Structure 1
Amino acid sequence: MKHGDVITISQVAAKLPGFMAGLPSMLKGLRVGNATDLSKPMGLGRCVEQATEENPNGFAILYDDTALTYTQFNAWANRIAHYLVSIGIQKGDTVVVMLENRPELLATVTACAKIGAVSALVNTSQRGKVLVHSINLVKPRIAIVGEELAEAYSEVESELVISPDQKYYWADQDTLKDAGSAPEGWVNLAETTGTQPENNLPQTQQVFAEDACFYIYTSGTTGMPKAVVFNHGRYMKAYGNFGYSAVRLTPSDRMYICLPFYHATAMAVCWGSILAGSAALVLSRKFSASRFWDEINQHQATAFGYVGELCRYLMDQPVRPSDRNNKVRIIVGNGLRPSIWRGFKDRFGIEKVMEFYASSEGNIGFTNVMNFDNTVGLSPLPYAIVRYDKENERPVRDSKGRMIKVKKGEAGLLIGKITPKSPFHGYTDPEKTKQCIFEDVFQKGDAWFNTGDLMRDMGFKHAQFVDRLGDTFRWKGENVSTTEVERICDSIESVSETVVYGVEIPNTNGRAGMASMRLECDHTQFDFSMFLKELNKELPHYAIPVFLRVSSGMETTGTFKHKKAPLKEDGFNLAKVADPVYVCLPKADTYVQLTDELQAEIEAGKYRY
């Protein structure tokens, strides 16, 4: 850790004037985000209605050539909500929502929130068995699907718990101008909702903090995707703590978001900040490094949401004289690495990096409200960073069985204390919830949430993200479940056993997937093209292993768990690995055997991952 990344008292003193100036907004955010009155109506639907009251003629959404004021957007969401009520959708019912980033997605989620229905925000990359699992897990009443994902839905429809006559369709176009046509068997939502009432619904006044707002799917630490309950009270935490306390947008601001809205970063943190400021959401379908700044400037955005991988891709673009010619004053997101932090700010003229740390299922969060470099900020909630044994993949405990906090400047496992003010709502599966809780950590009877993340104590309640641990790693801004990738690999012909883990590629964010495999044939006889084709059928692109290590056997512990630490240490370094190693190069349709020359080219950045 660089000495400059340990926060000193003089650095804190220099930040205090700006911190104190924003204190009234921070206090308001804490009040809004930590309301204790569980009988008070609140939630996403109310947030949209309040922004409409405060800025009725201001832009709510800008997307391509579509520009919707708050009045127009709220009326649209109301029409959808009234229709959902007319077909029997009630508070607590689950609605599968499968759309890419476009206004129809946000209008649908808002409509569900207004009547207390729960949106299951399926990852748009999911296919096959994983998609079936994610949908059936939450026992939905209906599915609302965009044209862009209708084929993926139809491929697995026969395995779903949803009735065949309960699927609703948004054409992939501006459906407010042209409803389009739906395939046979689908209900066209643009047609059926067009004549519905536009008034706010009374049901919105019956939505409270503990009512579920949406499900976010996460790989968690093991197994198939889990559906994390994101309730309306938690949405208000993002709305208050980020919107008022940290980001502090105004009605004249415009925040550009190209992150997927099936993640909480976009749906809760970014959109919550926008709604709190009655600002405009500039929506992009997908991230494009080459178009990013052109779209920012086209819509005169003053802020944007990010993940670390996005920032790295932008840094990899050729330097342009116009790099600083933008109106962006603040960015909000997570995963910006210290190695590019200051360079990114300087190159693009960014004043404030509102880095934060949170997880869809976690009970603590950090926010960089003091605008230090290279930190996720500070947390008002009780947490600890404890010593961790990487070899045995567990926290270190002393002779009394208690965990040990790290010293300033040291890294360890981040855990969050479970209290009434920082509860752990858990997963839909109680057993999975239990697995993520440590007990008797510092005293008998206490309970702490295991984040699965290594963090460094920077001092003054600030922390720095270091890495993911255990059976999950992060790649392309997504959490990858190693056990799920292992299961898919093991099901493919001629694969006997698989161990999956993440490895670092120089100048990339996160860890790329690598699989150590035992084959039933010689590696020269194995069909790597077929293997990759099968993986593409079952896994999202970011979960497909970049490297394959063909091993003759797997080293295990005394309890027969695979020893991943040595595999992670070896990585794809041929100087350490005697086994044959294969690599899938960007956009390739097969794996090729890694050579010393190819390894050197990958490490030098010749291939863009």
Structure 2
Amino acid sequence: MSHNSQSDLIGFKEVAAKIPKFMSKLPHLVTGLKQAYLRTSNSPAGLGIAFESAVKRNPQGCALRYQDQAFSYQELNNWANQIAHYYLSIGANKGDVVALMMENRPEMLATVLGLAKIGVTIALVNTSQVGKVLAHSINLVKPIAVISGEECCTAVDEIRHDLEIAENRFHWFADKETLKDAGEAPTGFVNLAHEIASFPTFNTPTTHSVQGKDGLFYIYTSGTTGLPKAVIFTNSRWTLAYGTYGHVIDFKADDVMYCTLPLYHATGIVVCWCGVIASSATLAIRRKYSTSSFWKDVQKFDASAIGYVGELCRYLMDAPESELEKGHRVTKMIGNGMRPNIWDKFKARFGIEEVLELYASSEGNVGFSNVFNFDNTVGFSPTPYAVIQYDKENNEPVRDKNGWCIKVKKGEVGLLVGKITRRSPFDGYTDPEKNKAVVMTNVLKKDDAYFNTGDLVRDIGFRHAQFVDRLGDTFRWKGENVSTTQVENIVSDYEKITEAVVYGVEIPNTNGRAGMAAITLHDGAQLNEQDLCDMLTEFKKSLPAYAIPVFLRIQDTVETTGTFKYQKSKLKEQGFNIHQTNEKIFVLLPGCNEYCELTTEIYNDIESYKYRF
């Protein structure tokens, strides 16, 4: 989100102008902040307690919609209770782990809620995982059972012999309305819908024994080695999110949040659902995101808010205009990664009044949210943090002669670090070695401890920040650091390009990595001779020479993870090797004013150092 304009800086005057609108939210927000901060790790806390309160407030209100199904708060709670009572009956205890692999549907949320009520930690497995990676993810958290939706059952079955789980603990939900029809479970799986049917629907006695320090979820993040890491998300952190993001959005009971994000990820299951539960409003979910169905669903569910990540916004902006995107109730959106180059356009085109951009990571202890509704910012942080000077050359924070880190001035970019305190603890990964790597000590004074987010942000004043780049998403070329996010923004602004994924590739006999962009074109668009020249002209206007991509690779579709993050590792591996892909690659040869197609001859010449990049 590098948007280095002085107009983005925030001071008292700018905040004062926002106060009148903010005041209407204040009572709800104060209620939330009390719940978030007046707690200790031993207080009863978490999803189960909050949901049961919502049921008391609005038992017959609609809690969940999916396709043509709808569940009141009372109905969803009864269902979750049956699941909870069943797991108690087979000996599940607080602190046990159950792995859950199911796409977005009501069974998934009922299961999460039921297990949360008994203090079981739910490992939210990415539904696109298969093979060794899936086996690794499940074994990593040592679950007592695996619950699989029929849609993920084959993937689980293929690796069941690699899992350290009892034969009778492979549980299954049919891919249908299981409250009406339990379906037939395949051999080797226990049919959960069938098992829970005879269990009671009253609240379990365990809900209030779940404490802040107890685990609620394991959420997986992509590990640098290629194997996922499991991050513990405690009930305490959930309560913090509920008290802040959940109340900032300030829903009324008739609000409907439309969420197409995968629920195995925190933006969906925590952020989107929190706001709904805080106001006993409605969550409307879709199995998988679809651009063509997005506004149809918004109209069908009468949604008033949407959950987003940055790429989703870009997909909606790239779609042709339609009647359905007008005349809806959506005025608010909550999520992260909205790019500055589409922020204003998005609000104008779709009639959005409030973009509740936020910053948080599954494992981190520092969060920002855009409570005052400024543009181009991840918002305001109530948690203690610092933005410190960072030396990209040596890949480390700058320290003064006494060994202390140095805070950046307002308007400058630095490394974001979150102070580790009793009220903002670092819950960490399953692996203690990984924890050591991200905790910094003696940062601003003796024996303090900070969580290193690995993110560069710009301090824009009044405890507000702008996201600039991930440290991992930079590479060096011509002795300079190139921000992939920045280049992606510029390249994807070219009129024929829908999306760009930027990364560094090695050219033999050169230092560092040259920039390469894998681009997808608008439907039906082709690059002609003129484009090969015009693109370069456009890139030169906005990028320093060293940041202009040396290679362009034309892709039909961009591979993303379930959370819309780009899959860069495979692209990096293939580089510009034309023998490893059938896709067209273009190159900007030294001294040229346009891109040309990378032929076998040119490729061999680059390999044998006939060009000096």
Query: TM class, shorter-chain normalised?
Result: 0.7 to 0.9
Counterpart in 1 of 2:250? 248
Cα shift at 1:385? 1.1
* Distance of aligned partners of 1:364 and 1:101 in 2 relative to their CA distance in 1, 3 Å threshold: same
- Rounded Cα–Cα distance in structure 2 between residues aligned with 1:159 and 1:373: 49
* Distance of aligned partners of 1:405 and 1:578 in 2 relative to their CA distance in 1, 3 Å threshold: closer
User: Is 1:80 aligned with 2:26?
Assistant: no
Cα shift at 1:67? 0.6
Match of residue 308, structure 2, among 306, 309, 321: 306
* Distance of aligned partners of 1:76 and 1:594 in 2 relative to their CA distance in 1, 3 Å threshold: same
- Rounded Cα–Cα distance in structure 2 between residues aligned with 1:96 and 1:403: 41
- Rounded Cα–Cα distance in structure 2 between residues aligned with 1:223 and 1:433: 18
SS of equivalent residue, structure 2 residue 421: coil
- Rounded Cα–Cα distance in structure 2 between residues aligned with 1:450 and 1:17: 36
**Offset from partner CA, 1:68-104 (integer Å, 9 cap, x none):** 1111100000111111111121111100000010011
User: Is 1:156 aligned with 2:159?
Assistant: yes
User: Is 1:512 aligned with 2:513?
Assistant: no
* Distance of aligned partners of 1:39 and 1:419 in 2 relative to their CA distance in 1, 3 Å threshold: closer
One-letter code of the match for 1:82? H
Match of residue 267, structure 2, among 252, 265, 268: 265
* Distance of aligned partners of 1:222 and 1:422 in 2 relative to their CA distance in 1, 3 Å threshold: farther
User: Is 1:99 aligned with 2:102?
Assistant: yes
Structure 2 counterparts to residues 538-549 of structure 1, below 5 A: none
Counterpart in 2 of 1:594? 585
* Distance of aligned partners of 1:578 and 1:258 in 2 relative to their CA distance in 1, 3 Å threshold: closer
One-letter code of the match for 2:373? N
One-letter code of the match for 1:586? T
Cα shift at 1:507? 2.1
* Distance of aligned partners of 1:362 and 1:316 in 2 relative to their CA distance in 1, 3 Å threshold: same
- Shifted more, 411-420 versus 159-168: the winner is 159-168
Counterpart in 2 of 1:323? 325
8 Å contact 1:95–1:117 — kept in the other structure?
Answer: yes
- Shifted more, 84-93 versus 135-144: the winner is 84-93
8 Å contact 2:586–2:596 — kept in the other structure?
Answer: no
- Shifted more, 583-592 versus 281-290: the winner is 583-592
SS of equivalent residue, structure 1 residue 119: strand
Counterpart in 1 of 2:411? 409
One-letter code of the match for 1:263? H
One-letter code of the match for 2:557? P
Cα shift at 1:596? 4.5
* Distance of aligned partners of 1:151 and 1:12 in 2 relative to their CA distance in 1, 3 Å threshold: same
Q: Normalised by the size of structure 1, how large is the TM-score?
A: 0.82
CA RMSD, Structure 1 to Structure 2 (Å): 2.8
Cα shift at 1:552? 3.9
Q: Normalised by the size of structure 2, how large is the TM-score?
A: 0.81
Cα shift at 1:139? 0.5
Counterpart in 1 of 2:386? 384
Counterpart in 2 of 1:439? 441
Structure 2 counterparts to residues 9-408 of structure 1, below 5 A: 9-219=12-222, 224-244=227-247, 246-408=248-410
Counterpart in 2 of 1:467? 469
- Rounded Cα–Cα distance in structure 2 between residues aligned with 1:570 and 1:391: 21
One-letter code of the match for 2:318? D
- Shifted more, 96-105 versus 82-91: the winner is 82-91
SS of equivalent residue, structure 1 residue 455: strand
Cα shift at 1:132? 1.4
SS of equivalent residue, structure 1 residue 161: coil
- Rounded Cα–Cα distance in structure 2 between residues aligned with 1:303 and 1:10: 29
* Distance of aligned partners of 1:431 and 1:510 in 2 relative to their CA distance in 1, 3 Å threshold: farther
What percent identity do the matched residue pairs reach?
Answer: 50
**Offset from partner CA, 1:239-285 (integer Å, 9 cap, x none):** 111222x1111111110000011111111111111101100100111
- Rounded Cα–Cα distance in structure 2 between residues aligned with 1:601 and 1:27: 59
**Offset from partner CA, 1:373-404 (integer Å, 9 cap, x none):** 11111101111111222232222222222212
Cα shift at 1:355? 0.8
Cα shift at 1:184? 0.6
- Rounded Cα–Cα distance in structure 1 between residues aligned with 2:376 and 2:148: 40
* Distance of aligned partners of 1:313 and 1:262 in 2 relative to their CA distance in 1, 3 Å threshold: same
User: Is 1:7 aligned with 2:10?
Assistant: yes
- Rounded Cα–Cα distance in structure 2 between residues aligned with 1:443 and 1:31: 30
SS of equivalent residue, structure 1 residue 285: coil
**Offset from partner CA, 1:509-531 (integer Å, 9 cap, x none):** 99736474xxxxxxxxxxxxxxx
Counterpart in 1 of 2:513? 567
SS of equivalent residue, structure 2 residue 284: strand
- Rounded Cα–Cα distance in structure 2 between residues aligned with 1:282 and 1:87: 32
SS of equivalent residue, structure 2 residue 424: coil
**Offset from partner CA, 1:550-576 (integer Å, 9 cap, x none):** x44785xxxxxxxxxx32656679998
8 Å contact 1:582–1:591 — kept in the other structure?
Answer: no
SS of equivalent residue, structure 1 residue 391: coil
Counterpart in 2 of 1:428? 430
- Rounded Cα–Cα distance in structure 1 between residues aligned with 2:585 and 2:517: 12
Q: Which runs of 5 or more structure 2 residues have no equivalent in the other structure?
A: 476-482, 519-534, 537-544, 560-579, 598-613
One-letter code of the match for 1:442? L
SS of equivalent residue, structure 1 residue 46: helix
* Distance of aligned partners of 1:106 and 1:409 in 2 relative to their CA distance in 1, 3 Å threshold: same
Cα shift at 1:19? 2.4
Cα shift at 1:345? 0.6
Counterpart in 2 of 1:418? 420
- Shifted more, 579-588 versus 461-470: the winner is 579-588
8 Å contact 2:458–2:468 — kept in the other structure?
Answer: yes
Q: Which runs of 5 or more structure 1 residues have no equivalent in the other structure?
A: 474-481, 483-500, 517-548, 556-565, 603-609
SS of equivalent residue, structure 2 residue 80: helix
